[in-house]
Amino acid sequence: MVSSQQRLVAEKLGIRKVVTVVGASMGGMQALQWAVSYPDMMDSVVPIIPLGRTPAWTTGVLEMLRQGIMADPRWNGGNYPSSQPPEQGMRLWSGWLSGVIVRTPGYQESLFPNSQDAIGYLKGVQDAGWRRMDAVDWIYQSWAYDRHNLGATPGFDGDYHRALKSIKAKTLILAGTGDLLNPEYEAMEAARFIPDVRYVAINEKLPMGHVSGAGISAPENELQNAEIARFLEAVTDRGRKIQ
Amino acid sequence: MVSSQQRLVAEKLGIRKVVTVVGASMGGMQALQWAVSYPDMMDSVVPIIPLGRTPAWTTGVLEMLRQGIMADPRWNGGNYPSSQPPEQGMRLWSGWLSGVIVRTPGYQESLFPNSQDAIGYLKGVQDAGWRRMDAVDWIYQSWAYDRHNLGATPGFDGDYHRALKSIKAKTLILAGTGDLLNPEYEAMEAARFIPDVRYVAINEKLPMGHVSGAGISAPENELQNAEIARFLEAVTDRGRKIQ
């Protein structure tokens, strides 16, 4: 999932070692993959709302999102002109993904005490978000998302736990409480096997789910900033190690 | 939501009093509505995986399901011949509703340790389930589901908690832990205000969500049967009151 990135960084940019690899969601999955694939290339990793391997729930959600796109007559096997994207399918994609699955029941209720307001909200999310990605691009990304499994990294023979135990980088996992895209129990399970790890649940008071890793509210931004700052201070010996 | 049922029972069948009103999911919502609308007509109610009022999350899920159906070119404003139902839309409906939302991440993982197996499973659910409902019928039911709120019962002026407090029937609520269609916190909140209530979470060990109320596994069937049997023994004074 990250080998082309690594070649870019190492071969083109000539960078042999980094202080940290940080990413959220699929970026968090990639941060973990970096740590397993290139254990000597970084001091630390900060996977945010990540997965170490993709569970059946997530694959099911992604499959339904793909089906919604592919049901659009404009999909046409992916051979649509860029001027005529599968708008209806991408509106379903945007509503389900950004409007429903990355959130939680309790968070929605806190935003919309009147349940009927969820309908206008969803339509706004769809208007704003359906063009955010190209449909073919997203579908290929989703297939990579589906198949993510650190145990499948060359050298580990499918042994997921051995892959996690091989991580040398100091690790800070920030997980989304109630996350319905990347279930938090997967992040917890990963943390049980990574040798040097700190695990922090974002928003334990109001579980916001996957969006809690996306900077959606001031308190969770502050929590993440404070945690990452403290972690990097330790990794870099208060900045001395990167001078 | 239940006035036509009540007229059938009372006026056509001539039944003036029942021992209990039982139902699951939308049936559980109706059981609570019976208890608020016709408080002297029953000794007890058993709402299973119910809602006392529908939250924004549920309305959002139902709206996306409706949109998936209506995006099918065969939908045609609901004017499709019965021989040509909106199959593609109903396949999305069946996959999302029966395959994803009524379950939980952990339950899916317990069934499919290999996440890619979720895809074949979903297709099986869709093949088996898409004809289960007529699309127009379901959409109208979903609008009623959306608007459910015990506080809207005539005489309560929108006061949800007063409606709950007015329930005279002994009440047994069976709620689905991790339920992503009818969130369990709504059932808990209802239980806080119903005067004579017992609240039981189904499957606390493996939260199965909404399907935990649907008789999907032997242990949760046994739990429900045992709880309901014990409850009805008390309501009927070991059967003496209905002789």
| Rounded CA Rg of chain A | 19
Q: Which residues contact A133 (CB under 8 A, 6 or more apart)?
A: A90
Q: In chain A, whose CA is at the least distance from the CA of B60?
A: A118
State mean pLDDT over B188-205. 93
pLDDT at B205 over 80: no
* A104 band by pLDDT with thresholds 50, 70 and 90: very high
Q: What is the dihedral of CA B224, B229, B234, B237, to 10 degrees?
A: 160
Mean pLDDT of A96-101: 98
Residues B14 and B73 in one domain: no
- pLDDT beyond 90 at A214: no
Domain shared by A48 and A154, yes or no: yes
The verdict on A71 and A134 lying in the same domain is yes
Residue A148 contacts residue A53 (beta carbons within 8 Å) = yes
Reported confidence tier of residue A196, pLDDT bands at 50, 70, 90: very high
The answer to whether the CB atoms of A119 and B55 lie below 8 A apart is: no
- Of residues B25, B142, B166, B212, which has the active-site annotation? B25
Burial-class residue B114 by CB neighbours within 10 Å (0-12, 13-18, 19+): exposed
Q: Which of helix, strand or coil describes residue B186?
A: helix
Q: Read off the pLDDT of each residue in B24-47 and give the average, rounded to a whole number.
A: 97
Q: Which of A94, A98, A179, A212 is catalytic?
A: A179
Of B127, B144, B161, which residue constitutes the final position of a domain?
Answer: B144
Question: Does residue A157 share a domain with residue A130?
Answer: no
Higher-confidence position of B241 and B13: B13
Instruction: Indicate whether B118 and B8 sit together in one domain.
Output: no
Where does a domain end: B123, B144, B165?
B144
CATH number at residue B120: 1.10.1740.110
Is it the case that residue B191 has pLDDT exceeding 90?
Answer: yes
With 80 as the cut, is the pLDDT of residue B204 above it?
A: no
Q: Which domain holds residue A217?
A: 3-53+149-242
Q: Is-catalytic flag, B137?
A: no
pLDDT at B149: 98
Interface with chain B: mutation pick from A29, A59, A125, highest number of B CBs within 10 Å = A59
A169 and A120: one domain? no
Q: Please indicate, yes or no, whether residues B114 and B220 belong to a single structural domain of this protein.
A: no
For residue B53, the 8-state DSSP code is: B
Q: What is the mean predicted confidence (pLDDT) over B25-30? A: 98
Q: Does A211 touch chain B (CB under 8 A)?
A: no
A103 lies in the same domain as A138: yes
What is the per-residue pLDDT for B64?
Answer: 98
The per-residue pLDDT for A238 is 87
For the cut 80, the answer to whether the pLDDT of residue A81 exceeds it is yes
At residue A219 the predicted structure's pLDDT band, cuts being 50, 70 and 90, is confident
Distance CA A142, CA A65 (A): 9
Give pLDDT, residue B194: 98
Mean confidence (pLDDT) of chain A: 95
Q: Taking 80 as the threshold, does the pLDDT of residue A205 lie above it?
A: no
Q: How many domains in chain A? A: 2
CA–CA gap between residue B105 and residue B181 (Å, rounded): 13
Q: Over pLDDT 90: what percentage of chain A?
A: 91
B63 and B28 share one domain:
no
pLDDT value, residue B41: 96
- Smallest Cβ–Cβ distance between B146 and the set A89, A108, A115 belongs to A115
Quick: pLDDT tens for B43-79: 999 999 999 999 999 999 999 999 999 999 999 999 9
Domain C-terminal end among B144, B175, B194: B144
Do A167 and A234 share a domain, yes or no? yes
Q: What is the per-residue pLDDT for B138?
A: 98
Q: In the predicted model, is pLDDT for residue B240 greater than 90?
A: no
Residues A116 and A162 in one domain: no
Cβ neighbours of A114 in B, within 8 Å: 56
pLDDT tens digit string along B142-182?
999 999 999 999 999 999 999 999 999 999 999 999 999 99
> Mean of the pLDDT values across residues B190-205?
93
**Which run of H or E residues covers position A23?**
strand A18-24
